[in-house]
Amino acid sequence: MAAGLTVPGRNMWIGLGIQTFPSTVAVIFSYLQPTEVGGFLEEFENIESERRLGTRFSGLPYVGTKSIPFNFTVEANPGDLGRILLACMGQEYSTPSVTSVVHNHIFRFSAVVPYVTVLGYLGGVADASGSDRLMRITGAKIGQVTITGGIDDVLMVSVEGIGMVASAVTAANYTPAYTSEKPFFLNANPGTGTLSVGSAILTAALFEEARSFELTINNGVATDHRIHGSATPVGISEGGSEVTGKLTAIFNQNTFTEINNFAAGNDRAVTLTATAAATTYSLPTTYAALELGLQKCRYSGDAPSYDPDVITVELPFKVEVSLTSTYISLKNNFTLPYSAAV
pLDDT of the residue at 340: 52
**DSSP-assigned states of every residue in 130-177:** --BEEEEEEEEEEEEEEEEEETTEE-EEEEEEEESEEEEEEGGG----
Among residues of the chain, what percentage have pLDDT more than 70? 72
User: Looking at the predicted structure, is the pLDDT value of residue 16 above 60?
Assistant: yes
Q: Is residue 84 a contact partner of residue 167, using CB atoms and an 8 Å limit?
A: no
From residue 295, how far is each of 149, 199, 262, 326 by CA, in Å? Answer: 20, 9, 15, 7
Higher pLDDT, 100 or 2: 100
Distance CA 339, CA 159 (A): 19
From residue 64, how far is each of 50, 68, 123, 196, 231 by CA, in Å? Answer: 17, 12, 28, 49, 9
- Bond from prior residue into 190 cis (ω within 30 degrees of 0): yes
Look up the pTM and report it.
0.83
Distance CA 340, CA 83 (A): 8
Confidence of residue 293 (pLDDT cuts 50, 70, 90): confident
Query: 101-135 pLDDT, tens per residue?
Result: 677 788 888 888 889 999 998 766 555 555 678 89
- Calculate Rg over the CA atoms of the chain: 23
Nearest to 107, CA basis, from 161, 145, 160: 145
Higher pLDDT, 117 or 55: 117
pLDDT of the residue at 61: 67
Query: 271-289 pLDDT, tens per residue?
Result: 777 777 655 444 444 457 7
Mean pLDDT of 252-264: 79
Residue ranges per structural domain of the chain: 13-47+65-332
How deeply is 337 buried, as exposed, middle or buried, from its count of CB atoms within 10 A (0-12, 13-18, 19+)?
Answer: middle
